[in-house]
Amino acid sequence: MKRFLVLGNSHTENLRAAAAQADGLDVQCDVRWVKLKADARFGDLRLDDAFAALKGLSADDVAVLSLFGTSHNVIGLLNHPRPYGIMEPGDPAENLGSAELIPHAALRSEIRAKLTQTATLSGLVEAAPCPVFHLAPPPPKADLSFVNKKSNYRGVDIAEAGFAPAQQRLKFWRLEQHVLDEVMTSLGGAAIAPPSEALTDEGFLAEPFHANDATHANLAYGKLVLEQLIAAAKITPEQVTAQ
């Protein structure tokens, strides 16, 4: 039986749950939460053990990463102390008020540097003797009014900072995923976009797929991603390289 090994983080917990509930899978699904840092609070697999697990796969298996591409939340979910705006190529001129405009090329360069400045991503891809994919994290949610404002995000008080504008969050996510796609292709792998069925016409995460927080998707989303991976398991190494 073909196996796919998913090395992810909190965004793959819905996939783990979907795989556990699925009946009659014709592939073996192993989803692990990797600790990218030794002192990470969450996770069930150390990074060095993740490398070992990848090396233990066969050429007929499939490796799936979901470890990168979340800077759009880490940096851009909440309003920054120095307000900024993003314009995509072709955007009409926007009135940013007192916000600073970040050049698209500069932000793109910064994101690419974060993905490539360490050997972690390239090392993981190189360690696998089989096709390697990287899952895109779910796109932003347009409306975050349901989120408990009394909580915090990465130590920042949500009520005090406030959520960044929806369109800005979506632009940041799109840019980051485009760079991730480029980097994965350059390494001989490929990125997997979010399931189209889970998106609104604008590209936000549709409400039926929201988890009860600002950034995560739910079990229904995980089931769609599982279907994507089963389809990806049929792709040969030559087809991945050709993409």
Residues 135-169: pLDDT tens digits? Answer: 999 999 999 999 977 778 888 888 888 999 999 99
Residue 192: the pLDDT is 95
| Residue 39 token pair | 């002192």
Q: Which residue has the tokens 């500069």?
A: 106
| Whole-prediction pTM | 0.90
Residue 95: the pLDDT is 57
* Residues of the chain below pLDDT 70: 92-98, 234-243
Please count the CA atoms within 13 angstroms of the CA of 14 that sit on its side-chain side. Answer: 22
Residue 92: the pLDDT is 67
Residue 93: the pLDDT is 58
Please count the CA atoms within 13 angstroms of the CA of 148 that sit on its side-chain side. Answer: 7
